[in-house]
Every structure is written in structure tokens, then in C-alpha cells.
Amino acid sequence: MSKLTHLDEAGHAHMVDVSGKSDTDRMACATAIVQLTKAAMAVLLEGNLKKGDALAVARIAGVMAAKKTSELIPLCHPLPITKVSVDLEPNRATHQVLITATVKTRGQTGVEMEALTAASTAALTVYDMMKAIDKGLTITSIQLEEKQGGKSGTWRRSAL
């Protein structure tokens, strides 16, 4: 079993010391899915929500969340993020919105948590914007798809 890096020798949680690591280019991509009903998807695509454009608001929320990750996740390092993109793709056939968040930095530790935070916050924002239409929306499959950089190199989720 591998040692968990956020636990010290005594088993206490601590922030990992990355001061000895080299700066490298790093990237992480994460996704989330929001499952809507057919009726809710129609409203989303019409863009007639009283709160405004749900997809645009969710995109901005995801970017903001990536920048605040170290304030939300207790042991994350504050990072100099160089790029955040949040794409939301509605699929009328499946009544789903696929959210893809990509985060980049040049630093001593990765941006996986920033990408996951961006994707999940964007999904929560879609829910918030759409809950007046349907409170039964579901957020599923929040997951890391890819990471690049650092000692462990590139990792990609395998297709099942």
C-alpha cells in the first residue's frame, strides 16, 4: 500500500512540503455531468431563465472556483494558475450537460483539485440556475480525465 502524502509519520494530516520540487508545466482536465429532464433541457436551451444564461454563469463560476480551490480544500496549495477553461456542452438527445474544466500552471504541484473544483462548481451552478424548473436534476460523474506534468508525468482515464 502506498503512503498517503497528506499524512505525516504519526498519521496526522498536513500540507505536503513541495519546496524541493522543480517547477514544471502542469495541466489537469476534469469533467462533470448534469442530468436534466427533457423539459428542463428545453428551457436551458431556449435561454429564457429569469436568472439569466445558466451556461454562461456556470462557466464563470467554474473559473472563479478554480482560483479559490486552496481556500475550499484544506490541504491544497495556493497556485499561480495560468489558464482555466470551462466548457459546457448540452446534449439534447441525452438531456445532459457535459462540463469540462481544464486548468494549467507552471509550478511545484499539480492542478487536479483545481480542475475538479471548477467542474463540480460549474455543475452546482447549473443546478442552482435550473432548480426553479426542476429540483430533481442530478450531478454525476465528477472525475479527473487527464493530468500532465510533474514527477508522475501524464495520466489519462482509460476508456471502459
Give pLDDT tens digits along the chain (160 positions). Answer: 346 566 667 766 766 667 667 788 999 999 999 999 999 999 999 887 888 899 999 999 999 999 999 999 888 888 999 999 999 999 999 999 999 999 999 988 889 999 999 999 999 999 999 999 999 999 999 999 999 998 888 999 986 5
pLDDT of residue 4: 59
Instruction: Clarify whether 53 is annotated catalytic.
Output: no
Check if the beta carbon of residue 85 is closer than 8 Å to that of residue 102: yes
pLDDT of residue 1: 36
pTM of the full predicted structure? 0.88
C-alpha cell at 140: 454525476
- What's the rounded Cα separation, in Å, for the pair 118 and 61? 8
Q: What are phi and psi of 122, to 5 degrees?
A: -60, -40
What number of other Cβ atoms are within 10 A of residue 17's Cβ? 9
C-alpha cell at 94: 441525452
C-alpha cell at 49: 431563465
What number of other Cβ atoms are within 10 A of residue 126's Cβ? 28
Q: Is the dihedral of CA 6, 9, 13, 15 positive or negative?
A: negative
Catalytic hit among 17, 25, 128, 134: 128
